[in-house]
Structure 1
Amino acid sequence: MKLNKDIRIKTDRLLLQPVEEWYVDDINTYFTSEITRYMPFNPEGDRNDILKFVEDSKRSLSDNTDLVMVVIDSKKNFLGCCGIHNITEESVELGLWLKKSAQGIGLGTEIIKALIEFLENNFTFKYILYPVDQNNTASRKIPEKLGFRIYKI
C-alpha cells in the first residue's frame, strides 16, 4: 500500500489521521517529561523541535516507511500521537503516547488494535514489534492484552 496524507482510521471513540502542522502546539503542550518518562526522548518545550518532528513525519509518510498520526476524539480534541514505524516486509513497529488526561481509560488498546487491523488489511509483513519499557507497567498491559510476547529485553 502507498501511504498518503488522506488516510483515516476510525475506532468507536477516535479518529487517527496523519500529523499536520496545525497540531504542533498541542503536541508541544502535552508531550511532557512526565509523558516521556519511559521513552528515549527528552522534550524541552521547543516548538521548533515539534515542527521538525512533523516535517520528518510527513517525509517518512511520502517515503512509505512510517505513518505518524494524531489521535482525536469525537469532539475534535487532541489526545496524543501514534504511529506505524519502520515498515518493511519483515516487520513493522507500533508506537503510542497519550496526554495524561487520556490515559487509563482503554484508549491505548483501542488505538493499537486499530493500527493492527489497518496493517493486516493493507500490508504484508512477518511480525509486529511494540517496544515498551519493562518498567512502564501501564503501557505493558496493552501488548499483553493483545497477545504479544516478549521478544527481547
Structure 2
Amino acid sequence: MFVYNIDEDLSLKLINYQDAEAIFDLTNRSRNYLREWLPWIDYVTKLEDTMNYIKECLTGFAEQKTMITAIVFKREIIGVSGYNEINWSNRTAHIGYWLGEGYQGKGLVTKVVWALTDYAFRELRLNKVDIRAAEGNHKSRAIPERLGFVEEGSIRQAEWLYDHYVDHIVYGMLVDEWGEIITR
C-alpha cells in the first residue's frame, strides 16, 4: 500500500476501505463547512456512500488513472488529497484536496500539495501538475499561489455548486519550473 511520510506528524496513505468510517465521520462533522465549495457533500449521507467513493478511488488507482490518499496528521485522518486524474499520454496530473473543519491554517495542505507535486515529478516522471479552484475559494487558491504555481486562466461556469455555477481558476506547474523552485 502507498504511504508517503511528509514529516513526523503528516503523511499520505492510499485511501482504503478501513478508512471509510473515519472519512465519513469527518465529512459529517465538517458538512456545513465543506458544503461551501464541494458539490458532492449532499450526496454523502451514509457510510455506504463513502464506501462507494473508496471503491471508485481504488478502481482508479488499479487502472492507473487516479491516486487518492487520506491525509493523516498525528495518526488521525483529517482530509483527502491526491491526483484526481492522471493522464499518462500527456504526462499530467490534476491535484485535488479537502480538509475537515478545524484543521486549516496550519500549513498542512501546503505541505501535502508540495509533496504530491514533488512525487509527480520525481517518481511518476510527469511533465505538468495542475490545480483548479473556484474563483471565490481564496483559501484553496492560496495553496498553488504559495507554492509558485502559475495562474493559467479560468474556466467559466466550470462547476455547478448546488444553486449556481462557479468559475474555476487553473494553476499549473511544469517539471522544469519545479526544479527551479526546489533549488532556490
TM, length-normalised to structure 1: 0.89
CA-CA distance at 1:140 after TM superposition: 0.9
CA distance in 2 between counterparts of 1:38 and 1:80 reads 14
The amino acid of 2:120's aligned partner reads: L
Q: CA RMSD in A?
A: 1.4
The answer on whether the counterparts of 1:29 and 1:45 sit within 8 Å (CA) in structure 2 is: no
| Residue matched to 1:20 | 16
CA distance in 2 between counterparts of 1:118 and 1:20 reads 20
| Residue matched to 1:92 | 93
Equivalenced residue count is: 147
Task: Rate the CA distance shift 1:9–1:143 in 2: closer, same or farther, 3 A.
Answer: same
Q: Does residue 136 of structure 1 match 2:132?
A: no
| Residue matched to 2:40 | 41
The amino acid of 1:41's aligned partner reads: W
| Residue matched to 1:69 | 69
The C-alpha deviation readout for 1:88-141, integer Å capped at 9, x for no partner, is 132210011111121111001000001011111122333211011111111111
Report the secondary structure of 2:98's partner residue: strand
The amino acid of 1:10's aligned partner reads: N
The amino acid of 2:53's aligned partner reads: F
The answer on whether the counterparts of 1:88 and 1:125 sit within 8 Å (CA) in structure 2 is: no
TM, length-normalised to structure 2: 0.75
| Residue matched to 2:54 | 54
The answer on whether the counterparts of 2:71 and 2:80 sit within 8 Å (CA) in structure 1 is: yes
Structural mapping, 1:99-114, within 5 Å: 99-114=100-115
CA distance in 1 between counterparts of 2:26 and 2:124 reads 31
Report the secondary structure of 1:103's partner residue: coil
The answer on whether the counterparts of 2:65 and 2:86 sit within 8 Å (CA) in structure 1 is: yes
Ranges in structure 2 where 5+ consecutive residues have no aligned partner: 155-184
The amino acid of 1:69's aligned partner reads: T
Report the secondary structure of 2:41's partner residue: coil
My pick for the range that moved more, 93-102 or 22-31, is 22-31
- Report % sequence identity: 19
